[in-house]
Chains A and B, each alone.
Chain A
Amino acid sequence: MELAIFSQAIGEYLRPKRVLPWLVLGGICAVLAFYWRTLQPRTLPVEQYATVSSMLVFRIVALASAIFTTAIISQEVEQRTIVYLLTRPVPRWKLILIRYLASVIVVGVLGIIGALLTSLGAFRGMGGNPLLAKDLQALMMGAFAYGALFLFVSLIFNRAMLWCLIFAFGWETAVPNMPGSMNNLSILTYMQAIAEHPATQDQSKVVELAGALGTNVISADRAWGILIGLVVVMLALSAWWFTHFEYVPREDAE
């Protein structure tokens, strides 16, 4: 039963017309990384990779999470197929967690493909990228964290995707650059702490625009801990909420 839910969700998310735009985006990252040297001749491949990765690939994960995670429940409610899922002998918490897992895997894999393509573009090949391993971990953890947060948002708000997008691009762009400890309120900050990108030369403006890349002082261990904590709390809240509240398409209500 669990496998059926998981494979159905994966099948839904991996439909070609859904995945293709993300692969195109990954391709754009690769092309950008490849031509970065033309635009900025004095940068090293590792800097090219780090800039494009934090500017675009990390954002792809946030954007993909906003889109795929809201599909876990909001889309089912919107297309009114939720009724088929909720009248089956599957505990609601299990249903939501399995579908969450499927979405996280898809988002994570899309992020990883983006990172690999970017690395390919920057290094003109698959080898020699010292940042890649940690980036992949950061992207996967980011997929879990954004997914858990957005899942909860999608359960409690109408127009969840809009709120998730505002968070992913408004909040996550502004907050990492805020003074004091405000940047602790951003998932991107922790992803960057896990990725441990080196500060790119002394280009303070560049660093700022990229979202505090390499400047935060959070240790990787602490970042892992906080993101895992966030995931656990958000998933527990989501499971509880989804188990206790009604999810019936509103226009159906008499």
Chain B
Amino acid sequence: MNNLLQTYTLLAAGLRADPQFCLASAVTWLDPLWQDDDEDWDVPHDEDGTLAIALRVTRMAFPDVYVQAVEAIRQGASYAELDRLICNAVTKRGIPLENLEWIGFGVPMPAYGVELNDADFYTTHSEVIPILACFGISPEPNPYHMTIPDCVYTAGRYIAADLEKHPDERYRQISWLMQWLWSASGNSSIDLSVDELYEFQPLSWEKDELAFAMDIIEEAEGIMSDVLEGLEFLSNSPDLLTALQQNIQRIYKVLEKQKGKKDEPRIRLAWPCLTDSIERRAELIA
């Protein structure tokens, strides 16, 4: 071992042997941002201090990501590499972070909300067009004048509530589909579109708010999984689509008669019995 390496080893041993040095060394290693000052991390392309914000957020919310990022900076990682590292790690922990620039605004939430007034929705979600047609809605030639009558929302939400507690899981999934289409789930990630979500103050990275955001996202993922199942089942069941259409007409008629009255309509909806329920249960048990 040459003198230089010997000196290095001696100094490293000294840092460990003395409790105060050891503590200072541990803090430098694991928590270099402990003083919370705007230390210049000297990463090219981080002109607006995004990285400093990201490190502060990860320090508070994701300590393991924080130390990974610090390690990467020490090894000379570029801004793009750090962006990818932090975004991937945070996304893996349940928060969909697409770009580091968003981290300073609060917890980014997914927005699955349906915008029936937006013509683009029908292009990106063409699979729901046959279902919306049952409600009498179709993409119009002039998309700038699309208006969805209130009675459509009322009917959709009525059906969602009617099927919510149905013993057959597939009907419950159709209920989730209706709750998504008519923004009635109570979960803001499901009910609000991106533009609508931007109107709210985002949740912060504080422990309680982050936990709340993660609960919302986890619930939303579960709901969307049911929505997709319900959509597929309904799309492939012509009898069920016919029953849906008949029920919608029933609701429209009652709503028409009730015009001006404030009473909640009481409508008995009829749904076909899914004949393969028993076989399906057996399949699920197996």
User: Do these two chains interact?
Assistant: no
